[in-house]
Structure 1
Amino acid sequence: MKNMNKWLILPLLFAMQACTPSQANNQANDTPTVQTTPPATPQPQTVQKAAGVWIDVRTADEYQAGHLSDAHHIPHDEIAGKIASLVPDKNTPINVYCRSGRRSEIALQELKKLGYTNLTNHGAYDDLVKQGLK
């Protein structure tokens, strides 16, 4: 008899559960819909070009493909021999850049050895352009 009661009660329980609204459905209907707008695309900030002499230490082909206005071209491996004619005063601010920052760091170290004191490695040309320098 006990086994028979189980078989009769179970379908009855399932039928009762199917007739009552589920808690999940109530929660879904009570949740307000919120629309969000994507954040605005940040505009590149224009930075002011540092004072002094700007030197592009990339290859001639890279320089011809694009460079900052007023930048002089002296490849990093020629900087020691050509800098004195361009910048005789060793206290003049000198700003160097290249494709990634590696060659401009080599040039900066050469300039230090020659006694130049006001030096800045600005790194990659593409990064400077993205910052708004032209």
Structure 2
Amino acid sequence: MIVKLKYSMLAVIVLLAPGATTFTYAQTDIAPVVQNKKQESIWIDVRTPAEFASGHLSNAINIEYQDLGSEIMSVTQDRSMPINLYCRSGRRAEIARQVLLKMGYVNVINHGSYEQATKLTAQN
């Protein structure tokens, strides 16, 4: 949804010089565009690159769980962005979730295994 806000601004500039007074009027229309984008979510596969290559969600990125803390800022700096994690069993995804929570990310979900995440995304 795009909301257009239109402001009309009347600028009055008064220039005073010795013996003369000048008034200048300028009308300026400013039309900034504000976009209310639907907040997207990020899917992160925290398994090894070899596991990721053997099968992954199509919209997932691969960051190993032990590297997630140092690499998450290159993915999103928005600490309220929904982040979905999965791995082989859910154990590494939970470790990664705890790291992100300690870093201040507030919307982090461990979806367990790749198979569970596949079933969940197929339902939606």
Cα RMSD (Å) of the superposition? 1.6
- Compute the TM-score of the two structures, normalised by the length of structure 1: 0.59
Residue 117 of structure 2 corresponds to 128
Question: Hey, which of these two has a bigger chunk of helix by percent?
Answer: 1
The correspondence for 2:95, drawn from 106, 110, 113, is 106
Aligned: 1:66 with 2:55: yes
List aligned pairs for 1:80-99, cutoff 5 A. 80-99=69-88
* Cα deviation code 1:41-85 (max 9, x no counterpart): xxxxxxxxxx51000000000000000011011000000000011
Query: Counterpart of 1:133 in 2: which secondary structure?
Result: helix
Flag structure 2 segments of 5+ consecutive residues without an equivalent: 1-39
Residues 132, 111 of structure 1: CA spacing in aligned structure 2 closer, same or farther, 3 A cutoff?
A: closer
The percentage of counterpart residues that share the same residue type is 48
Q: Which amino acid aligns with 2:55?
A: G
Query: Counterpart of 2:71 in 1: which secondary structure?
Result: helix
The correspondence for 2:42, drawn from 38, 53, 60, is 53
Greater relative contact order structure (CA < 8 Å, 6+ sep) = 1
How far residue 126 of structure 1 moved from its aligned partner, in angstroms, is 1.5
The correspondence for 1:76, drawn from 36, 40, 65, is 65
Question: Displaced runs of 4+ in structure 1, greater than 6 A?
Answer: none
Flag structure 1 segments of 5+ consecutive residues without an equivalent: 1-50
